Amino acid sequence: MSDTVFDRIIAGSIPCHKVYEDAQVLAFLDIAPLSRGHTLVIPKESAATLDQLSDESAAALGRVLPRICRAVIAVTGVKEYNVLENNGRGAHQEVPHVHFHIIPKPDGAAGLGIKWPTGALGADAAQLAKQLAQHLKSAER
Ligand code: AMP
């Protein structure tokens, strides 16, 4: 059984500033916010990365994420925000338990800063899309 800081928050052995809870989902304020209202939304299921999450937990997260975004907008008064979900240390994931960041973007300085080094779609794009579609058709959960 995994024992990340978020598992401990779910278990109640570490405190948090709770924002939302249901049978499958917990949301609380990030302890080191990028901006006021920075909120984390996590499944209670112990999955390290999004690809490991069950359909049930994914659906539960998807159902409440927009609601929590609306609450963050209403309470902070900041209409623009980023939703971020990191997977793996190389992709900036520090806590190996799935979590969605909701990060208000009040101005150019506060909130999430993003480098977006765009490239060109490769010549294999059609093949790549086909392979992905075929994999999705054959994959089972
Ligand atoms: P990530 O880099 O996507 O794994 O983000 C992990 C996030 O968890 C960071 O933004 C941390 O500030 C946050 N965090 C770590 N420990 C706690 C905690 N005890 N309570 C709330 N947020 C936390």
Closest-CA residue, ligand 1 atom 15, reads 31
Cα–Cα separations (whole angstroms), residue 20 to 35, 72, 138? 19, 12, 36
pLDDT of residue 122: 96
Ligand 1 site-directed mutation target among 95, 97, 98, 112, most atoms within 8 Å of CB: 95
pLDDT of residue 1: 58
pLDDT of residue 103: 98
pLDDT of residue 99: 98
* Residue ranges of the chain with per-residue pLDDT less than 70: 1, 140-141
Question: Is 93 close to ligand 1, i.e. is its CB under 6 Å away?
Answer: yes
Question: Is 83 close to ligand 1, i.e. is its CB under 6 Å away?
Answer: no
Cα–Cα separations (whole angstroms), residue 128 to 50, 116, 117, 140? 21, 21, 20, 20
Stated as kind and residue range, the H or E segment containing 136 is: helix 125-138
Give the predicted TM-score (pTM) of the model.
Answer: 0.96
